[in-house]
Amino acid sequence: MILVADASALIALAACDSLALLEALFGTVLVPETVFIEVTPVDKPQSDRLRNYLRGKVRTVDMRHFVYLDGFADAGETEAMLLYKEIAADYLLIDDKRGRKVAKINQIKTIGSLGVLLQAKRSGLINCVAPLIEQIATSPIFMSEALVKTVLELADESSQQN
């Protein structure tokens, strides 16, 4: 399987030291150049970890392809969707709610960072998602309380929520 990743979901998984789950679950992980540039400036959280993790995973996107966009799509999301289409990837890793809606319009199958954690638990790769969600919550990544509650319920860990 091939997973193409967008920036915020990568940052979330780096914040809870869970990037290795991506290869374990999906095999091949790729990012467009713009996403790499977004997540690796020295002043960005997790930039060193992401720079090391993404070594050999960065691809140039053929901009002759197209995807439907809204007026708010950033360059990283756009290139990630284009790369997904170009290489016929299996999933797009993206956390942005609006971006996921745009991906759906483009018939792109998505998964978010919390979905990765949930799938990893179901696959026996991790024991609990709650401590990892707590680590993400201490980072600049926003997760709605409703989403966290739903994921903890799906993971059968709702009693562990504060």
DSSP secondary structure, 137-157, as one string: HTSS----HHHHHHHHHHTT-
Q: For the structural domain made of 2-114, what CATH number should be given?
A: 3.40.50.1010
Distance CA 7, CA 12 (A): 9
- pLDDT digits 0-9 by tens, 37-85: 999 998 887 899 999 999 999 998 876 665 555 555 667 888 898 899 9
Total Cβ atoms within 10 A of residue 44: 16
pTM over 0.95: no
CATH 3.40.50.1010 placement within the chain: 2-114
- pLDDT digits 0-9 by tens, 3-41: 999 999 999 999 999 999 999 999 999 999 999 999 999
